[in-house]
Chains A and B, each alone.
Chain A
Amino acid sequence: MYTESWLSVGPTLDECIKCNICTSYCPVAAVTDLFPGPKYAGPQAQRFRERGQKNSPDHSVDYCSGCRVCNEVCPSGVKIAEMNARARAQMAAEHGIPLRNRLLGRNELMGRIGSTVPRLASFGMQNPISRVVADKLFGISREAQLPSWNKGGTFGKWFKKSQSHRLKSEKKVVYFHGCGTMHYESFIGQAAVAVFEHNGFEVYVPSQNCCGLPLLSNGEFDTAEEYFDNNIRKLLEYVRRGLPIVGTTPSCTLTLKDEAPELLDRHDSDAHALSSAVWDIFEWLRDLHDQGELQTNFRRLEMILPYHAPCQYRAHLVGKPALEILSLIPGLDLRESHARCCGSAGTYGYKVEKYEISMAVGEELFSFVKAQGPDVNMTACDTETCRWQIERGTDLPSRHPIELLAAAYGLYDVEARTLLTN
């Protein structure tokens, strides 16, 4: 646990000037006494943590959702969220990882199993009886929104099947779909492929693994490292050819870029090569636009669209690229959410002891959406667990911005979530 990168985090705690800005902005501390705030759980408690320690001094850090608002607002650059992530891993090492957290950490495995019999799996997971069982037995909240498996098969299957229609081009990208797109929301991947091709790029979809984030956030660092190594092995040849690895889920791309190498202390050249080649899709599209190469032959999209940038963008440190690109679409009345977090925070909101906190955190966002008036038909957010949470909190469908971009190119039906081409 006490590793080289722990040392890279530790010294930043001396930069803490105790100004309390982090606690003032922390969305979790705002709604519960169970979490005293980033300053206490982070730099303050950090002084009582040491190598080989038997007992974690402060268990409240388990209630940190990892949204990173603290890092964003800190005027001194203290790595609070990273301190907290390590402290949670230390707690997991001490107390063992509950089965529930092992399940939530393994969405690739869950996805794969379910994808063999998608309808049955969706029914098995979604029906009220199994939700009660999962709630009582494992502590997976029966209220939280769980996804359904793709009825028409995985994204990978679609991509393979559609090979004959796929664009061949000198310009190529590698698409990192993540587990959510692979098993639950293949239409996101289809929209992304359509956008890449519309801009003249041939798309590679090599075999890939879960980025490892759910494991990291549940403190299972060893398994996360296996996944990370697999991804290096599978993607490195493309990286060496100079191709960008572009993903549609900001949490996956963040993990490959930063969280995995940082938390797993992977400072080797292969890890560095992979993480430096990874882009979030809108970060990549914005760069394309900066170079004057983004197709801007948009149709009008007449709608009011509340957009919430997911917390992971805070860690990417790239601003809100989806907002910038969507703002190019004529007719689209974008409303930017300044809510701190949707509350779901990946697997956090699925845990029975945290579900209510997660909905209370999300209230700021839900009421922002409601305040945009009755003409709002949908919202947009880049990360799937956030979208599911926003749907639950607002009773409105939520879309990935890439779906709106594909729709603005005339390639995609954003209501039905289907491609209009192949």
Chain B
Amino acid sequence: MLDLLVVGAGLSGLMAAYTAAQAGLQVRIVNKGLGSMHWNAGTVDLLGYIPGAEEKAVQRPLEAIATLLQKYSDHPYSLLEMKYVPSALHTFVALTEKLDIPYIGADDNEENLLLHSPVGVPRPTYLTPKAQLAGNLRRNAPILIVGFEGMLDFYPLLIAENLTKLGYQARAETLPMELLTNRRDANTVQLAHELDDVTRRTKLGRQLHELVGANERIGLPAILGMDAHAEVMADIEKLSGAPVFEIPTLPPSVPGIRLFRALQDGLKSMGVRIETAMEVSGAQKTISQNGTSERLAWLESKTTTRPLKHRAANFLLATGGILGGGFNSDADGRVWEVVLNLPLTMPQDRSKWFDSSFLSPGGHPVYTGGVRVNRDFQPVASDGTLLYENLWVAGNMLSGADPILERSLEGIAILTGMAAGQAIATR
């Protein structure tokens, strides 16, 4: 029998599975469809803003977490020992190096990087894939944004103009689409595959060399190779003669997909399978041996006929919040957790979901709600009693944070995923 069944193949589920498998557990992941990582910029945001504080990007997130927790004592970060945070992030970076998709940490000052958004707005983030590093806006160097004629959702002029307004030195150029593809229409993933081809990337590199001015760095949409990403980056930098960086795009987001694929391969080599298209929709509950709390005997996923049973000694839900599909809601104001109907902390009254101000600096209650857990990441009722003896929860299902507002999405996912995996393994 499996030691651990993880539900959800987002960053938290993958990192929980990795941690548990690393500790010797037999692990499997099931998920409903491929999701959150395909929308993800590929960076690791740890803490970018403190909600309700004056709107200033956090510079040193490891220190700022303490400030955050003074204000929001039930934040998921409060479940972690603070000395655990840097070491877990270090483990993550080491893993990405092993998987040939190296992430670069913030500099020695442990300061956030300021990287690019698809519309030319700086994003504070803590770790980045190597390919985005040269875009760091804390560094002073003129920027050339290069796009491609007819490419959807990537507008170099808009990006350059917005950067200029914010005081950065930036300009834009547009290259013909034929450089990348002969296809009538292609999305970011297909374009990334096209650039895996040596001839294509050589042509692009040479064209960039013609365009780039002295001391400029070049920002391109994040399509610089899929399978041959490292080689594509190296060739284009060499041929253009300038530092090159990727700007994450609208979905499908190639940097997120690269990380997903790397983690999937890494897990596979550890014997962890990811089974997609398994929507977990039920469970068999039993009473634990000591008779005090409930246990899960198995989870069930939908098939075309009879439910499929997934037996394991332990279960971890990492199905995400509203965005990831872990929670659902209806027009009456009900919000529920989709697998086990775990109790949620958000208001079950639609009129209380949102603050009256749309851009409320403190965020909206419906987004900060979630599953309440104890220090071992096990879900508990409002009075603190354990719900199931062998159930854990990690990532964006956890109550107490608005990760989009805080820019803490991947930090919470990675850190709570790993900590929960550790808690299961050491039990």
A415 to chain B, nearest CB (A): 30
Q: B257 is contacted by which of A24, A33, A316 (Cβ under 8 Å)?
A: A24
What 1/0 flags go to A304-326 for Cβ under 8 Å of B? 00000000001111111000000
What 1/0 flags go to A69-93 for Cβ under 8 Å of B? 0011111110000000000000000
B26 to chain A, nearest CB (A): 13
The residues of A that contact B309 with a CB separation of less than 8 Å are 290
Q: Is B32 an interface residue (CB 8 A)?
A: yes
Tell me whether chain B's interface is mostly helix, strand or loop, or mixed. Answer: loop
Question: Given the interface contacts A33-B183, A317-B304, does A21 sit within 8 Å of B34 by beta carbon?
Answer: yes
Q: Are B33 and A24 in contact (CB under 8 A)?
A: no
The residues of B that contact A71 with a CB separation of less than 8 Å are 277
Q: Is B276 an interface residue (CB 8 A)?
A: yes
List A residues 238-292 near B (Cβ within 8 Å): 254, 257-258, 275-276, 278-279, 290
CA distance A276 to B278 in the complex (A): 19
Question: Given the interface contacts A257-B304, A257-B305, does A24 sit within 8 Å of B252 by beta carbon?
Answer: yes
- Give the nearest-CB partner of A72 in chain B: B277
What 1/0 flags go to A36-62 for Cβ under 8 Å of B? 110000000000000000000000000
CA distance A60 to B388 in the complex (A): 50
Q: Are A319 and B39 in contact (CB under 8 A)?
A: no
Q: B304 is contacted by which of A23, A33, A36, A315 (Cβ under 8 Å)?
A: A315
What 1/0 flags go to B225-264 for Cβ under 8 Å of A? 0000000000000000000000000011000010000000
The residues of B that contact A257 with a CB separation of less than 8 Å are 304-305
Q: Are B38 and A19 in contact (CB under 8 A)?
A: yes
Q: A20 is contacted by which of B251, B278, B279, B304 (Cβ under 8 Å)?
A: B251
Q: Are A19 and B308 in contact (CB under 8 A)?
A: no
What 1/0 flags go to A4-37 for Cβ under 8 Å of B? 0000000000000001110111000110010011
Give how many B residues have a beta carbon under 8 Å from the other chain's beta carbons: 33
Q: Are B278 and A317 in contact (CB under 8 A)?
A: yes
CA distance A317 to B188 in the complex (A): 29
Q: Are A317 and B183 in contact (CB under 8 A)?
A: no
Q: Is B83 an interface residue (CB 8 A)?
A: no
Q: A21 is contacted by which of B38, B306, B325 (Cβ under 8 Å)?
A: B38
A246 to chain B, nearest CB (A): 12
Q: Are A33 and B33 in contact (CB under 8 A)?
A: no
CA distance A275 to B306 in the complex (A): 10
CA distance A277 to B279 in the complex (A): 21
CA distance A75 to B278 in the complex (A): 11
Q: Are B251 and A36 in contact (CB under 8 A)?
A: no
Question: Given the interface contacts A73-B276, A317-B277, does A21 sit within 8 Å of B251 by beta carbon?
Answer: yes
Q: Are A276 and B33 in contact (CB under 8 A)?
A: no
CA distance A278 to B163 in the complex (A): 61
List A residues 293-349 near B (Cβ within 8 Å): 314-320
CA distance A36 to B186 in the complex (A): 9
Question: Given the interface contacts A33-B183, A72-B276, A290-B309, does A77 sit within 8 Å of B32 by beta carbon?
Answer: yes
Q: Are B277 and A314 in contact (CB under 8 A)?
A: yes
Question: Given the interface contacts A24-B252, A73-B34, does A254 sit within 8 Å of B304 by beta carbon?
Answer: yes
The residues of B that contact A319 with a CB separation of less than 8 Å are 275, 278, 308
What 1/0 flags go to B186-207 for Cβ under 8 Å of A? 0111100100000000000000
Q: A75 is contacted by which of B35, B185, B190, B303 (Cβ under 8 Å)?
A: B35
Q: Is B301 an interface residue (CB 8 A)?
A: yes
CA distance A78 to B10 in the complex (A): 19
The residues of A that contact B257 with a CB separation of less than 8 Å are 24
Q: Are A77 and B306 in contact (CB under 8 A)?
A: no
Most chain A CB within a 10 A radius of its CB, from B33, B34, B187, B190? B33
The residues of B that contact A278 with a CB separation of less than 8 Å are 305
The residues of B that contact A279 with a CB separation of less than 8 Å are 305
List B residues 21-70 near A (Cβ within 8 Å): 32-36, 38-39
List B residues 294-347 near A (Cβ within 8 Å): 301-306, 308-309, 311, 325
List B residues 170-227 near A (Cβ within 8 Å): 183-185, 187-190, 193
Q: Are B308 and A75 in contact (CB under 8 A)?
A: no
Question: Given the interface contacts A75-B33, A77-B279, A319-B278, does A20 sit within 8 Å of B305 by beta carbon?
Answer: no
The residues of A that contact B311 with a CB separation of less than 8 Å are 290
Question: Given the interface contacts A24-B257, A72-B33, A76-B33, does A19 sit within 8 Å of B39 by beta carbon?
Answer: yes
Question: Given the interface contacts A19-B38, A317-B308, does A75 sit within 8 Å of B277 by beta carbon?
Answer: no
Q: Are A74 and B306 in contact (CB under 8 A)?
A: no
Q: Are B190 and A19 in contact (CB under 8 A)?
A: no
- Give the nearest-CB partner of B301 in chain A: A317
CA distance A149 to B90 in the complex (A): 62
- Give the nearest-CB partner of B183 in chain A: A33
The residues of A that contact B251 with a CB separation of less than 8 Å are 19-21
CA distance A96 to B99 in the complex (A): 53
Most chain A CB within a 10 A radius of its CB, from B187, B252, B277, B301? B277
Q: A24 is contacted by which of B183, B187, B301 (Cβ under 8 Å)?
A: B187
Q: B33 is contacted by which of A29, A30, A77, A318 (Cβ under 8 Å)?
A: A77
Q: Are B302 and A317 in contact (CB under 8 A)?
A: yes
- Give the nearest-CB partner of A36 in chain B: B185
A323 to chain B, nearest CB (A): 9
The residues of B that contact A19 with a CB separation of less than 8 Å are 38-39, 251-252
The residues of A that contact B184 with a CB separation of less than 8 Å are 33, 36
B42 to chain A, nearest CB (A): 15
B12 to chain A, nearest CB (A): 15
The residues of A that contact B302 with a CB separation of less than 8 Å are 317
What 1/0 flags go to A350-392 for Cβ under 8 Å of B? 0000000000000000000000000000000000000000000
CA distance A21 to B279 in the complex (A): 18
Q: Are B305 and A275 in contact (CB under 8 A)?
A: yes
CA distance A154 to B183 in the complex (A): 48
Question: Given the interface contacts A276-B305, A278-B305, does A20 sit within 8 Å of B252 by beta carbon?
Answer: yes
CA distance A281 to B146 in the complex (A): 55
7 example contacts (A-B, Cβ-Cβ < 8 A) are as follows A20-B188, A30-B193, A72-B276, A75-B35, A290-B311, A314-B277, A317-B279
With A75-B34, A75-B35 known, 10 other A-B pairs at CB within 8 A are A20-B251, A24-B188, A33-B185, A73-B33, A77-B279, A254-B304, A257-B305, A276-B306, A290-B311, A317-B279
Chain B residues with a Cβ under 8 A of chain A:
32-36, 38-39, 183-185, 187-190, 193, 251-252, 257, 275-279, 301-306, 308-309, 311, 325
Listed from nearest, the 10 A-B pairs whose CB atoms lie closest are A75-B35, A24-B189, A258-B304, A317-B303, A75-B33, A72-B277, A19-B251, A73-B34, A257-B304, A24-B252
